[in-house]
Amino acid sequence: MSDQPVTVRDDAEANRFEAVDGSGVVAGFAAYRRYPDRIVFTHTVVDDAFEGRGVGSTLVRAALDAVRDEGLRVVPQCPFVRSYIERHPEYADLTG
C-alpha cells in the first residue's frame, strides 16, 4: 500500500468510479448504473488496507463532481453516497 493520495478515475466498462493509489492499486470503488439523464450509485467499497484514510470521501466527492460536470442527476441508492450527500449539502442539488 502506498502512502500517496489516491486519484479517482471512471472505469466506464466496469460501471464504477475507482480510487487508485500511487502504485496503481485500486483502493476502492463506487459502482453505478448509468442512464441518459442520471446515474444510480449502487454500492461503495473501500479495501480494508485503505480504511481510515479518507478514500471513500475522496472517491465519492470526485465521482459527484464528475457527474455534475456531465449534467446528470444522482440517485444515491448506496448508503455511503446518500450519507455523503446529506453531510455535504453542496451536492444536494444533484438529487433533485
Per-residue pLDDT tens over the stretch 39-53: 999 999 999 999 999
Strand partners, 7: 20
Overall average pLDDT of the 11-30 stretch: 96
pTM here is 0.93
Q: What are the cell numbers at 60?
A: 465519492
Residue 3 has pLDDT above 90, yes or no: no
Fold of 7-95: Aminopeptidase (3.40.630)
pLDDT of residue 56: 96
In which band, very low, low, confident or very high, does the pLDDT at 2 lie, cut at 50, 70 and 90? low
Using CB atoms within 10 Å of the CB of residue 92, give its burial: 0 to 12 exposed, 13 to 18 middle, 19+ buried.
exposed
Burial letters 14-43, b for 16+ CB under 10 A, else e: eebbbbbbeeeebbbbbbbeeeeeebbbbe
